[in-house]
Amino acid sequence: SQQGEEDPQALSIQEGENATMNCSYKTSINNLQWYRQNSGRGLVHLILIRSNEREKHSGRLRVTLDTSKKSSSLLITASRAADTASYFCATDWGNQFYFGTGTSLTVIP
Amino acid sequence: GAVVSQHPSRVICKSGTSVKIECRSLDFQATTMFWYRQFPKQSLMLMATSNEGSKATYEQGVEKDKFLINHASLTLSTLTVTSAHPEDSSFYICSARDPAGGFTDTQYFGPGTRLTVL
């Protein structure tokens, strides 16, 4: 399977704390993207980091990429209850796009 | 940004019937669209890559006779679940690339179709 893995599978934090989730993948990539999915809904694109980038920021989101370790991390700072969702990484290579297993984040008000 | 729509958003059908799901790119032409399936509390699994004007490429383990994909135009791909059974009940999501952005561009996802087979 080309699917990547994410950890932790589930994460529960208090509002205001930071949340970090990690993604490991198996193939070479053109880029890696992070998505959020609220329960039963479609995907919301969060951020894209290209294979030649190491770190990227967008608002409260910080993404890192280590291609030598085939891993990426997503940091959400100052979390809010509205951040409660599942988060998926997805790798993009050769017109193929594979999702990680996902992290379910619960932010407790 | 580019918009991808899916229709229907929700469908309930009887076992043995066939169901067609449409995926449309609304403001761009997509030579390639992708179909995913997602079971509850699981990740999205790529089912097939749909290429305009040619046969779809199916992932290992996906039955092409069960899941018929047609990409007849640059803005429309359809997934037909033939002779649906309860185990086909799932959330089906399509996506498309905007070729103007090149290979490294973002994929745009449809809102998904929830299929329930009774």
- A22 vs chain B: nearest CA distance in angstroms? 15
A8-34 burial, b at 16+ Cβ within 10 Å, e below that, comes to eeebebeeeeebebbbbbeeebbbbbb
Those residues with Cβ within 8 angstroms of residue A32's Cβ, 6 or more apart along the chain or in another chain: A23, A25, A48, A49, A51, A63, A65, A72, A89, A90, A91, A92
Find all residues with CB under 8 Å of B100, minimum gap 6, and list them: B28
Strands B107-109 and B44-51: unpaired
Chain A positions touching B112 (Cβ under 8 A) are 41-42
**Amino acid code (one letter) for A10:** A
pLDDT score for A2: 63
Q: Tokens at residue B1, please?
A: 């940004």
Predicted pLDDT of residue A94: 72
Shortest Cα–Cα distance, A44 to chain B (Å): 8
Arithmetic mean of pLDDT, B79-86: 96
Among A109, A106, A92, CA closest to A4:
A92
Q: Say whether pLDDT at B99 is over 80.
A: no
Mean pLDDT: which of A14-23, A94-103, B47-56 is highest? A14-23
Is B111 in Cβ contact with A97 (below 8 Å)?
A: no
Question: pLDDT-derived band of residue B101, with 50, 70 and 90 as boundaries?
Answer: low
With CB atoms and an 8 Å threshold, state whether A42 touches B111: yes
Distance, CA of B21 to CA of B8 (rounded, Å): 6
